[in-house]
């Protein structure tokens, strides 16, 4: 009886870990390092469309204060095979804000922005942001 109860508890703990993990993965920001870097991504228009879109990246530390960075590079990719990734570099606007005036989404669907933040001390933080691009195109230019 005691053994059964303990097994049941273990299953529940495992479930919480599994469910918690998948929620984390769906939030779109998956730190691959322990650096205190947060990236909030805003896109105009919203939702983003096929073609040029404006990206606004607000970098903060874990206390929410604007974060100093040396450079911010962005790679846009999709989950399916055979996709040519899109690369761009953000411009510093002051404080923790960086902007890409025309990030070119070449196709509609689920995109992953891989944001590489180069810190003043040379360390690099990588953050991911998922978004859904509305519209078609990119494969042959057909509307
Ligand atoms: Cu694609």
Q: What is the mean pLDDT of residues 66-90?
A: 95
Q: For residue 2, name the pLDDT band (cuts at 50, 70, 90).
A: low
CA dist., res. 89 & res. 75, Å (int): 9
Q: What is the mean pLDDT of residues 62-71?
A: 95
d(CA 80, ligand 1 centre) in Å:
6
Q: What angle do CA 130, 38, 80 make, to 5 degrees?
A: 20
Provide the CATH number for the domain formed by 31-133 in this structure. 2.60.40.1220
pLDDT at 16 over 60: no
Could you tell me the CA-to-CA distances from 57 to 24, 100, 126, 140 in Å, in that order? 20, 8, 13, 31
d(CA 107, ligand 1 centre) in Å:
5
d(CA 83, ligand 1 centre) in Å:
5
Instruction: Give the residue extent of every domain in the chain.
Output: 1-29, 31-133
d(CA 7, ligand 1 centre) in Å:
45
d(CA 129, ligand 1 centre) in Å:
16
d(CA 77, ligand 1 centre) in Å:
7
């Amino acid at each position: 009886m005691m053994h059964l109860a303990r097994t049941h508890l273990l299953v529940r703990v495992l479930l919480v870990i599994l469910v918690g993990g998948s929620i984390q993965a769906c939030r779109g920001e998956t730190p691959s390092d322990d650096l205190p870097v947060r990236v909030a991504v805003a896109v105009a228009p919203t939702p983003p469309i096929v073609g040029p879109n404006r990206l606004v990246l607000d970098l903060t530390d874990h206390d929410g204060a604007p974060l100093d960075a040396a450079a911010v590079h962005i790679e846009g990719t999709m989950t399916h095979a055979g996709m040519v990734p899109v690369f761009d570099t953000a411009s510093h606007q002051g404080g923790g804000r960086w902007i890409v005036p025309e990030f070119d989404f070449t196709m509609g669907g689920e995109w992953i922005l891989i944001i590489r933040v180069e810190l003043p001390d040379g360390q690099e933080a990588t953050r991911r942001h998922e978004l859904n691009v509305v519209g078609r195109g990119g494969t042959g230019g057909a509307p």
